[in-house]
Chains A and B, each alone.
Chain A
Amino acid sequence: MRIEKHSNSLIDYNQPLSFVFNNKAYKGFKGDTLASALIANNVLYYARSFKYGRKRGIIGAGVEEPNALVSLEIGGRYTPNMKATEIMLYDGLSAVSSSNPHSIDFRAMIKPLHRFMPAGFYYKTFIKQKVWSIVEDRLRSLSGFSKAPSEIDEDVYDHIFQHTEVLVIGGGAAGMSAALEVLSSSKKARVILVDERENLGGELTNEFTTDQTATLWYQETKERLLKYRDEAGSRLKILTSATAYAWYDHNYIEVLQTIGTGQSMIQEGVQSARKVLHKIRTKEVILATGAHERPMLFETNDLANIMLSQSVRRYVNEFNVVAGKEIVLYGNNDSIYNTAIDLRKHNVESKVIDVRASGVESDIVLEARNLGIEVFQGFAILKAKGKSRVTGIEISKVEMQAKPPHWKSKWRVTGDTQTLNCDLLATSGGFNPVVHLDCHCGGKTYFDENSQSFLAQKDRKNRQLCGAVNSIGFWKDAIADAKNKAQLTLLSLGEDNEVNPQELTNQSRNYFNVDQFFTPLEILNKPKVFIDLQNDVTTLDVSLSIREGYQSIEHIKRYTAMGFGTDQGKTGNINGIAVAAEFLDAPMSEVGTTTFRPAYTGVDFGAMAGRELGDFFDPQRFTTIHDSHVNSGAEFEVVGQWYRPWYYPKDGEDMHQAVNRECRAVRTSLGMMDASTLGKIDIQGKDARELLSRVYTNAWMKLAPGSCRYGLMCNEKGMIIDDGVSTCINDNHFIMTTTTGGAASVYSTLEMWLQTEWSHLDVHLSSVTDQFSTVAVVGPNARKLMKKLCSDVDFDSKNFKFMQWRPGTVCGVKARIMRISFSGELAYEINIEANFGRFIWDEVAREGKEWNITPYGTESMHVLRAEKGFIIVGQDTDGSMTPMDVNMNWILAKNKPFSYIGRRSFSISALKSEDRLQLVGLLTKDDQVVLPEGAHIINNKGVSVGYVTSSYYSPALGRSIALAQLKGGLSKMSETVLVKIVQEKQGLKEIPCEVSSSVFYDTNGEKVDGNE
């Protein structure tokens, strides 16, 4: 319910807002979070729990909330698994619970069976019994998390790279103080201040109700910071509604910021980013991440309206809401008194149950008593009563033991149980410094006996801790600590200021000094003492895990699911570790923590993608001829980011028909193809030949200017990595071509050798792939067309032989014409300056009409080369094939003086084995069956002995052909093997095939000179 307005509240009562939650309309105000507005409307239930389907309410007020997960909005604006405590209310907001608490739930219906559903229940019941596949869908839909979005995200996300000297994480008292100290003490250090809330201040705002000096300090500091932010040449950036969720190497920190919190983004035409991912590289980090309160443990501590003490305090101070009328505060530190006092100042009554021994009459206890607050000291809550919400508690006097083992609970239950009525219970079992981020990238934690929690290691390079994360609870001490740490940060930056270290007051309020673990075994052994509310983990689950042998905290986590989900154990983990310590009878320091990994909070996939979507997902490369292909109706395939024509369907042809037509044209008359995408490396220098000779397996020293040669490139392991034709322009100048996909890596590899091993060679490389366009003119009539296009070259086959090149002028454009062939037919590749590509392509197409010139794509190219048994590196080879394996011993030079790359490996025994996979041809007995690529060849025991690498229907042969890697294949010619395939409707079939040479067509190479 809403209570009377207080001057420090953030609520603007002049701005009422309407919203819908779980299909019901509500009213709230500007300044509310969805959670505070719902509490004002007396909404109690937000979720069904993960495993048992128990109704759950809110326990937190911010990022620590484990229960109130909602799906915000619908359609393209749908966002799953948001915390209601972190959504700033706006008019028209619509949200539903991630798992609807009001639905009828089968898990809740089988309540009597819950005791039979311990940790490991689903595994033991379903997976072990092999019926998981039947029940999986049904169970997953009950998992307590939102459904995955089904529509494309309409929101826009941006990435911003930031560089700074100092990154302050956390904008509470400590963070604000640290940022201001850096700015005022340094003349040059830049600062980025990050906070997850919409406003700076953090938990300091809770002090405003009782401490006027806190308000004044806050206002003054904020004003000064804003002045720094807004001045010319500003050195300060303030990111609010922004969570630093990951810390990676070399102080690289990612921060996700929500833009326009408290505003609906569902307005027509709003295209600004919804979230911004800041990628921050900083020299120094100041962590002021604060601490999370942990709950007390007792039976059925998961009932609705059992909250954390600090959240009740924040709800009443900031939002003027309180979730009940009969309020009990329970805990082991002074936080509960703060809350009680603040409630009292808002005229709300409460009782305090302090588990600590009676007689502790500190200032704050006296202050509470003086305000008329009833305080029970030395009492513990044993059980919360109520069906789904708390209606009362059972308490009992506790007795303090003088000397328990130093890690054991100090108190034991004595005396009779009393019952108290209450409709809101807020607890505090101490505070866990938020060390998650510090641990993402190598930071270590140690166990601190005072706070009974794990703290970040004190000294770490380029990082300081201040405030509550440094276990300093009192705000004045936090700001003093922050000033000192800011000075240390400047020192680390090399700025040497004369400063007076600030003295800490060490005031008497006690948040971080709590008793050894605060719950004795007699309570932990009760059922339904929940540790992790989001994953429904109870103390008995931890006990079971330990009994079943999963005793390491990492094993306990995985056995019970404690600390998983969107929650990542923010409230539950330290309690879980403490419970494990109790059951293991070992100190918490020995149990240790689980590993903290990014991300601290959920990160939208959209935010990770940023603007790199659709056309911006990957670079797209187009040849200069591209538009012509589009006009011809080509279908494209992407090869190494290039958009290559795949095939050119005509008049409703399917791919098969188009490819057959294209191949026939090439084999019988004339085809043309855009070969511009092949990688081209210009190699110059007097050692150019030497380089080729070292990286290719064959000889290059005698290749004459005017000639071309095919080369096969291996790595030192002796495995084929690339192939292509290199052209000798003159003795000091070669052009190497590489495969389309291999261009970048070949270029890099050559550079590596030249820069690291062969720096004495006089040779230089330039990538010229983009500088040239290549039009291949292919088919028996190619010479006739070339004569028509180019008059200054003698195309006579005796004078311009296969594997030669000539400079010439094609349609008035200077060109290098290479006579090389990837199809076995007479072919010329016209290389021209890239910008003439389209012109030459169109001219070739026009002039070639009399021979019915046919453009063909990569698919036909593959068929044509497969007919000739030419390999494609990366398709017929896979990084484990040697030249011998592909039956290319002929390309291995014997007498080169330099032991070329890979050569030595060829003589290693493993590479000489007869039983290696070797490239062969396969001819199906039924010549119309086309084998699927990737299908396995099996032996008579059904074991794979190889697989199909290329398979096509060959229009020239009127039958199917395939290339395959087969164990010892080269010595199995004419043998019959079986290929196992799945045929539609017929299931698995074994197809008999004959092993053949990999050259299927024109086996004597008679076609290469074409028609005169």
Chain B
Amino acid sequence: MFSIHCPYCKEPRDQNEFSPAGEAFIARPENPEALSDEEWADYVFYRTNLKGDHWEQWVHTSGCRKYFLVKRSTINHEVIEVATFEEIDSENAS
């Protein structure tokens, strides 16, 4: 069972308080109707499934119910970084 540091509760908590919510940074296309079937399928179904450090979304289901970002190694499950969406946004802006 992982131990995940919730960036909102500011504490490490057991994994069973959280739910995974898929790969991060997959933005919903702004105009889905303009996409080909392949492009739409790529958004809906295809994920990178990489071996290595992976940004993913988690939600603190049994806690603050906030969604946030976790960078996790898919090799040994080490959590390398956690961040809120705001933190990432401001990082990208600067």
Contacts and interface: CB of A to CB of B under 8 A. Distances in A.
Given A751-B67, A752-B67, A905 B44 contact: yes
A250 B3 contact: yes
Nearest to B35: A904
Contacts of B33: 899, 903-904
A855 B31 CA distance: 50
Contact of A755 (B2, B14, B41, B67): B67
Contacts of B83: none
Interface string A725-752: 0000000000000000000000010011
Contacts of B41: 908
A756 B44 contact: no
A249 B1 contact: yes
Interface residues of A, number: 22
Interface in B36-57: 37, 40-41, 43-45, 57
Contacts of B44: 716-717, 905
Given A716-B44, A904-B35, A756 B85 contact: yes
Given A248-B1, A717-B44, A904 B85 contact: no
B10 interface: no
A250 B67 contact: no
Contact of B32 (A250, A752, A757, A904): A904
Contacts of A899: 31-33
Nearest to A759: B85
A757 B67 contact: no
B6 to A, nearest CB: 14
A252 B37 contact: no
B21 A752 contact: yes
Nearest to A717: B44
30 contacts: A249-B77, A250-B1, A250-B2, A250-B3, A250-B79, A252-B1, A252-B3, A252-B14, A716-B28, A748-B59, A748-B61, A748-B65, A751-B65, A752-B21, A752-B57, A752-B59, A752-B67, A755-B85, A756-B21, A756-B85, A899-B33, A903-B32, A903-B33, A904-B32, A904-B33, A904-B35, A905-B40, A905-B44, A908-B41, A909-B37
Interface string B47-84: 00000000001010100011100000000110100000
Contact of A908 (B40, B57, B65, B67): B40
SS of B interface (majority) = mixed
Interface string A951-967: 00000000000000000
Contacts of A442: 76
Shortest Cβ-Cβ A-B pairs, 7 listed = A904-B32, A250-B3, A755-B67, A899-B32, A249-B77, A252-B1, A716-B44
Contacts of B66: 755
A313 interface: no
Interface in A892-932: 899, 903-905, 908-909
A755 B86 CA distance: 10
Interface in B15-37: 15, 19, 21, 27-28, 31-33, 35, 37
Contacts of A903: 32-33
Contacts of B43: 716
Nearest to A744: B61
A609 to B, nearest CB: 16
SS of A interface (majority) = mixed
Nearest to B57: A756
Contacts of B21: 752, 756
A717 B45 CA distance: 8
A717 B77 CA distance: 29
A904 B37 CA distance: 9
Nearest to B66: A755
A905 B29 CA distance: 13
B15 to A, nearest CB: 8
Interface in A754-804: 755-757, 759
B35 A756 contact: no
A164 to B, nearest CB: 13
Interface string A269-281: 0000000000001
Nearest to B65: A751
B65 A249 contact: no
B2 A249 contact: yes
Contacts of A759: 85
Nearest to A715: B44
Interface string A221-254: 0000000000000000000000000001111100
B59 A281 contact: no
Nearest to B77: A249
B34 to A, nearest CB: 9
B51 to A, nearest CB: 14
Contacts of B40: 904-905, 908
Contact of B27 (A748, A757, A904): A757
Nearest to B86: A759
Nearest to B67: A755
Given A751-B65, A755-B85, 8 more contacts: A249-B1, A249-B15, A249-B77, A748-B61, A759-B85, A903-B32, A904-B35, A908-B41
A249 B27 CA distance: 30
Nearest to A252: B1
Contacts of A248: 1
Nearest to B33: A899
A281 B3 contact: yes
Nearest to B32: A904
Contacts of A905: 40, 44
A248 B3 CA distance: 11
Nearest to B79: A250
A404 to B, nearest CB: 40
Nearest to B41: A908
Contacts of A252: 1, 3, 14
Contacts of A251: 3
Interface string A561-598: 00000000000000000000000000000000000000
Nearest to B61: A748
A913 B2 CA distance: 43
Nearest to A718: B44
Contacts of B59: 748, 751-752
A250 B28 CA distance: 33
A756 B67 contact: yes
Contacts of A751: 59, 65, 67
A952 B59 CA distance: 41
A908 B41 CA distance: 9
A421 to B, nearest CB: 56
B77 A250 contact: yes
Contact of B28 (A249, A757, A908): A757
B83 to A, nearest CB: 13
A683 to B, nearest CB: 15
A161 B12 CA distance: 14
A323 B21 CA distance: 61
A903 B31 CA distance: 11
A751 B59 CA distance: 10
Contacts of B27: 757
Contacts of B37: 908-909
B5 to A, nearest CB: 11
Interface in A692-715: none
A492 to B, nearest CB: 15
Contacts of A717: 44-45
A757 B32 CA distance: 14
A442 B75 CA distance: 9
A572 B82 CA distance: 45
Contacts of B85: 755-756, 759
A904 B32 CA distance: 6
Interface string A600-616: 00000000000000000
Contacts of B79: 250
A695 to B, nearest CB: 12
A757 B25 CA distance: 10
Contacts of B31: 899
A899 B28 CA distance: 11
Contacts of A908: 37, 40-41
A905 B37 CA distance: 8
A904 B29 CA distance: 11
B36 to A, nearest CB: 10
